[in-house]
Structure 1
């Protein structure tokens, strides 16, 4: 622009995207062909960390039962059991979650529901 060219007071910028719900949160979804950004789901990462910590505490013998550990942590045993299930996820899925590269089907709400124990089936179902 040169000094002689007037500067417009309003600039309109069109950005194509959709708003979708993911795990109870709203996120922007880019159009096909746009480079996706890696975004770590901190809630899911925290749940994974808790699950592996609890598993280690149970395996070490510090706590004899899930009920005993849940009481110590101040949470319901049923919730702890659902979170502990995350330790059964395929290593590829765990790595993708930690890198923020998990698919849209991989949310904490989805992971709290039963999923296949077989890693190949998990990869197929959650891709």
Structure 2
């Protein structure tokens, strides 16, 4: 392969972005017109996965109490209870989180706060 001219020693690329905090860590956010990827919040996705896994473990009878399961997982029962509440989210909100199309205000910290149990009210709050 031949090149038409000399290769420059330095190439400068300008990428507009800003730093935002998501899930307790900093993340680069590109402008909407520059971003073709989803904004998947891995911390939130992992919390959802844990919530549904823990729920199955409790429903199957593998563990009889949240305190027993929390002890095995090495976390506080109060934290486990807050994460387990994620299983009560409307299916379309869960899907948006998994696809990375949720609103920027939908973070793990915000989702661990009390939220309405009625799906329509959840949509009004998070969509």
Instruction: Specify if TM > 0.5.
Output: yes
What root-mean-square deviation, in Å, do the aligned CA atoms of Structure 1 and Structure 2 show? Answer: 2.3
Preserved contact between residue 30 and residue 36 of structure 1 (Cα < 8 Å): no
**Contact kept in structure 2, 1:18 and 1:30, CA below 8 Å:** yes
Matched, 1:57 2:57: yes
The aligned residue for residue 105 of structure 1 is 105
- Give unpaired runs (5+ residues) of structure 1: none
Retained in 1: the 8 A contact 2:51–2:87? yes
**1:8 to 1:49, Cα distance in 2 relative to 1, 3 A:** closer
Question: How many residues are paired up?
Answer: 125
Residues 7 and 69 of structure 1, relative CA distance in 2, 3 Å threshold: closer
| CA displacement at 1:59 relative to structure 2 | 1.2
Contact 1:40 1:97 in 2 (8 A): yes
TM-score normalized by the length of structure 2:
0.80
